[in-house]
Copies of this chain bind each other. A is one copy, B any other.
Amino acid sequence: MTENAPSFGLLLFPNVTQLDLTGPYEVLARVPGAKVHLLWKTLDPVRSDTGLTILPTATLADAPPLDLLLVPGGGGINALLTDEEVLTFLAERASDTRYLSGICTGSLVLGAAGLLEGKRAGTHWASRDFLSSFGATPVAERVVVDGTLFTGGGVTAGIDVALRIVGELFGADAAKRVQLSIEYDPQPPFDAGSPDGAGEVVTADLLARMRPMLEARAAAVEAGADALRRRRSARAG
């Protein structure tokens, strides 16, 4: 990185949870001189899991050198957990990228790429147990830092994670200017951002709605962990 032109890469994939990506994007793009790249297999428009459609800016094959590689989460991660093209891209680029970040269930994709082995990591509260399938230690914190790996809790945690990364790269005052510019002085109308705060009834109701997705995720995590073990055996053999 040159101090004046940091290069941030965010993975943009079908059925991403768009706020996992757009929250950190807004923070990172406000660093003076920063370039933020939205990376996917093609340059075709990509639809989020709620229908917001965003244009990628570079393909995986043409991705420029990066100071940070960030993977957001969402329903679409299930397919990525066994996607050789994506997992190979992440594993290869991680070695020459200064910081690595997984937001929400994006952390599980880093796991499937073999990048969380022995690391402390966070993810969305409802998917936290899946982290151990990839050799990570699940941590119930909003921002989890392990060396140059920054992971976070669900969706909105990406804003907190990105501000921490800006602080790490450019100092507290630079991060504070960004935070002030986006008036990030949150006042949630309810204390419902965690299962403890939301209470048993709201949490059980939400989990019931999420059950089909979480069952599909359990199968995808198992397949992703199996594939990772096979790739490792092949390299070792």
Which of the residues B50, B188, B209 comes within 8 Å of A186, measured between beta carbons?
B188
Encode A65-81 as 1/0 by CB contact (under 8 A) with B: 00000000000000000
Asked if B188 contacts A26 (CB within 8 A), the reply is: no
Instruction: Please tell me how many copies of the chain the complex holds.
Output: 2
**Is A36 located at the chain interface by the 8 A CB criterion?**
yes
Given the known interface contacts A38-B52, A187-B142, the answer about A176 and B202 at a Cβ–Cβ threshold of 8 Å is yes
**Is A3 located at the chain interface by the 8 A CB criterion?**
no
Smallest beta-carbon distance A159→chain B, Å: 7
Smallest beta-carbon distance A208→chain B, Å: 10
A176–B196 Cα distance when bound, in Å, is 12
Asked if B180 contacts A198 (CB within 8 A), the reply is: yes
A167–B187 Cα distance when bound, in Å, is 14
Given the known interface contacts A19-B23, A143-B187, the answer about A206 and B192 at a Cβ–Cβ threshold of 8 Å is no
**Is A29 located at the chain interface by the 8 A CB criterion?**
yes
Which of the residues B38, B45, B179 comes within 8 Å of A188, measured between beta carbons?
B179
Given the known interface contacts A38-B52, A53-B54, A167-B189, the answer about A202 and B173 at a Cβ–Cβ threshold of 8 Å is yes
Binds B, one of A88-96, A148-156, A228-236: A148-156
A57–B210 Cα distance when bound, in Å, is 27
**Is A121 located at the chain interface by the 8 A CB criterion?**
no
A49–B198 Cα distance when bound, in Å, is 35
**Is A182 located at the chain interface by the 8 A CB criterion?**
yes
Residues of A within 8 A of B (CB): 17-19, 22-23, 25-26, 29-30, 32, 36, 38, 45, 50-55, 57, 104, 124-125, 142-143, 153-157, 159-160, 163-164, 167, 172-173, 175-177, 179-190, 192-195, 197-199, 201-203, 205-206, 209-210
